[in-house]
Amino acid sequence: MSPIRAVQNERGSSAPFAVGALGLLLFVGAALGVVGAVFVAHRTAQSAADLAALAGADALQVSGDACAAAATITDRNGATLESCEIAGEDVTVTVRVEGPRWLGQPGDPVAKARAGPTGPPSS
């Protein structure tokens, strides 16, 4: 076989590899995008929970409705207040944020936070 004939037989053999590599790159990019979206949704839920617990604890100190204040702050942060519990001067909230759906991901990110006054300073 002459060298010219061998080169002509291999023409176009890199196309299947390029298509496969491109497909793999697209899949990895999409997966990283979903992971990033889940991370952002969880951080949003945690921020909303922290702020709602602080608002509830503040309202409780001023003789207001702690759970109503927590619900207002939760709604303003694009989340849903799942539960609000008052134990003494502490307010504990659970918040849910709608997360991305990819390949049948079952649930939304949920975060929990507690806020209340600090105890007396220790000597």
Question: Which residue ranges make up each domain of the chain?
Answer: 18-115
Render pLDDT for 6-65 as a digit per residue (tens, 0 to 9): 556 667 778 888 999 999 999 999 888 888 888 898 999 999 999 999 999 999 988 789
> Looking at residue 121, what is its pLDDT?
52
Q: Which is nearest to 53 in space by CA: 87, 2, 7?
A: 87
Q: Check: CB of residue 44 under 8 Å from CB of residue 97.
A: yes
- Residue 115 is predicted with a pLDDT of 92
pTM: 0.74
The answer to whether residues 62 and 89 touch, using CB atoms and an 8 Å cutoff, is: no
- Quick one: pLDDT at residue 112? 96
pLDDT tens digits along 60-117 = 988 789 999 999 999 999 999 999 999 988 999 999 998 877 766 677 889 999 998 8
Residue 5's alpha-carbon distances to 14, 41, 96, 103, in angstroms, are 18, 58, 66, 48
Q: What residue has token string 């990033």?
A: 36
Distances (CA, A) of 100 to 36, 90, 95, 106, 111: 10, 32, 16, 10, 16
